Chains A and B, each alone.
Chain A
């Protein structure tokens, strides 16, 4: 059974800091890995998707990397801003009918 872990559960950083959010998964036979952002009381917004054949994806100040063999992904946020404060979840797609398994998320607070 696929398990996805995100540690720590919460993180607080000062504005302007570059930061890395970690995600690990137990079954390396994945189709893809996605990073999502969730604002309080809202739905999830897809930030980046990395296909199993890819090593990284970039969007603006965000860069996500994937190391399938070690079961790890990182989300790098450059020059963090207070508007980046949210919960960040990673999810992997595995198995028949490509079910997504989510981590529990990292709640990020960027202090002005």
Chain B
């Protein structure tokens, strides 16, 4: 099925461990992004990419790295996990990132991360 696929769905880490959340889309979308969702804080943008080889920081980028080597994939790396990174992470993509005004954003199902 076409869409945004995130793996893993659940992960428990210890403080200081590193890991990568995977995101893949098969819709040939140029724009991809990562959000975290926390109770009372809403959705906050971590990093985004407007095309292969191009990434930029969002609202809360500290502690996270991204790369965009292909159009399809946009992994999110936690360098040294901290309890403050316990959250639900969503990957989302759209065709053109919004300059046309018509960028319906398609979300993945989410990855729930707990850092002990």
Contacts and interface: CB of A to CB of B under 8 A. Distances in A.
Interface in A19-62: 31-32, 34, 36, 41-46, 49, 51-53
B103 interface: yes
B110 interface: yes
A100 B40 contact: no
B105 A97 contact: no
A41 to B, nearest CB: 8
A97 B108 CA distance: 21
Given A89-B43, A93-B103, A43 B110 contact: yes
Interface string B41-57: 11101001010000010
A19 to B, nearest CB: 21
Given A43-B109, A103-B42, A97 B50 contact: yes
B56 A43 contact: no
Nearest to A30: B101
A52 B107 CA distance: 22
Contacts of A53: 101
Interface size class on chain B is 20 to 34
Contacts of A43: 90, 107-110
B63 interface: no
A98 interface: yes
- A-B pairs, top 9 by smallest CB distance, nearest first, are A98-B98, A43-B107, A51-B101, A104-B42, A102-B43, A44-B107, A93-B98, A43-B109, A31-B101
26 contacts: A31-B99, A31-B101, A31-B103, A32-B102, A36-B107, A41-B110, A42-B110, A43-B90, A43-B107, A43-B109, A44-B92, A44-B107, A45-B107, A46-B106, A51-B101, A52-B101, A91-B43, A97-B50, A97-B56, A98-B97, A99-B48, A99-B58, A100-B105, A103-B42, A104-B40, A104-B41
Interface of A: 31-32, 34, 36, 41-46, 49, 51-53, 89, 91, 93, 97-100, 102-105
Interface of B: 31, 33, 35, 40-43, 45, 48, 50, 56, 58, 90, 92, 97-99, 101-110
